[in-house]
Amino acid sequence: MIEIHHLDVRRITNGPKHHFFGYFDKFPWDKSGRYILANEIDFTARQPVAGEKAVLGMIDLQDNDRFIPLAETYAWCWQQGCMLQFLNDSESTIIYNDREGDHFVARTLDIRTGEKRTLCRPVYCLSPDGKWALSVNFSRLDRERPGYGYPGAFDPTEKVKIPDDDGIFLVDLKNNTSKLVVSIKEITEKYFRSDMEDTPGWFNHLLFSPDSRRFAFFHRWRLWAPDGSPRHLTHMFTANIDGSEIWPLNLEDMSSHYTWTAPDKIINFSNRFSHHWQYYLYTDRTHKTEIVAKDTFPGDGHCSYSSDGKWLLTDSYPETDDFRRLFLYDLAGKKAYEIGKFYSDPSYPIPARCDLHPNWSRDDSFVCIDSIHEGSRQMYLVDVRPFTKA
């Protein structure tokens, strides 16, 4: 049973241009809570092509939500942007992906001094201790999972379905070096199934543990439905940051959105044979799982915990009424609340869809979302203090 309790919502970006932050597993806020990072785009309801840029900036919440341009990028997608974020909680340095010639890189920019640095590879995620990043082949990702990779770069493994020289790269941020730590071939061979034969594989959804010692990732492989449409299956793993001690967290057909909730805990919306699609709390390197909010929500969502661990935040994909819903779940009281619902234009192509991708503010007072319910892609703040500060 979900109680309806819609909260106050404030738009913080305006047209005619479109704005979004992107994925739910990164903070758009700076440490002070005054600024929120954003991508600014000239169009919305189609996929970008090579050469189309995004303007990167931040919204000043204390100055009439003023958008302050900071940089430009030619490596971005609708679902995860260009991985724009403050570098290791810096107050003045941002990091984002970009295209340089025929390959992708990451750049850091000190927004106070203008000092810029280029890193050897694009980043997927950063370690909380500030030392490392993980990287994947964003060209392969663009080809196999449109909406998550970037167009426009040369991919030497394009015709190789299961390469041994491509996969997950560990980037040393200080020394600007990288090395392959988990290859697509290694995972495919070690956890082979017959439907992986002669079909492309790739990695997606990488995230470091809170103590920076391990990371989680998806191995996905291409399948086709009877009508010829593409689909994929997913195995979920964890590993040490050097690629050792790989642990198969979920091999039961499908894992979706997840978040680390502790150095050894991951909440993940998964399809498991015992109870099918649910939010499961996994304990790393064990076979222990428990169901969170059993049969409560309408389906998959972008899940995260508040900083005090009391609230689960998640959303939904559009239901038959074309509305996306935003939820809070009281983990101790085991009670769910629908705190907002937002119309989602069904004419948007799937790779260019606008998921809510809810993000917590650092003090758990607000949630930032992307939405198209007012006719353009913009960013909004939802005031969740009636629950989190009650």
Q: Kindly report the pTM of this predicted structure.
A: 0.97
Rg of the Cα atoms in the chain: 20
Going by C-alpha positions, the residue among 233, 239, 218, 219 that lies closest to residue 284 is: 239
Coil vs helix vs strand at 265:
strand
Q: 192-201 contacts: CB < 8 A, separation 24 or more?
A: 195/221, 195/223, 195/233, 196/162, 196/221, 198/161, 199/161, 199/223, 200/140, 200/144, 200/161, 200/162, 201/161, 201/162
Pick 2-388's CATH classification: 2.40.50.100, 2.40.50.140, 2.130.10.10, 3.30.365.10: 2.130.10.10
Token code pair at residue 151: 């167009």
Cβ neighbours around 78 below 10 Å, total: 27
Helices in the chain by DSSP H: which ranges?
138-144, 184-190, 385-388
pLDDT value of position 344: 98
Backbone dihedral angles phi then psi of residue 138, each to the nearest 5 degrees = -75, -20
- CA-based angle 353:359:365, to the nearest 5? 140
Give me the residue spans of the domains in the chain: 2-388
pLDDT value of position 224: 92
pLDDT value of position 91: 82
- Cβ atoms of residues 380 and 12 within 8 Å: yes
Give how far Cα 273 sits from Cα of 92, 270, 277, Å.
47, 10, 9
Tens of pLDDT along the chain (390 residues)? 999 999 999 999 999 999 999 999 999 999 999 999 999 999 999 999 999 999 999 999 999 999 999 999 999 999 999 999 999 877 899 999 999 999 999 999 999 999 999 999 999 999 999 999 999 999 999 999 999 999 999 999 999 999 999 999 999 999 999 999 999 999 999 999 999 999 999 999 999 999 999 999 999 999 998 899 999 999 999 999 999 999 999 999 799 999 999 999 999 999 998 899 999 999 999 999 999 999 999 999 999 999 999 999 999 999 999 999 999 999 999 999 999 999 999 999 999 999 999 999 999 999 999 999 999 999 999 999 999 999
pLDDT value of position 347: 97
pLDDT value of position 89: 73
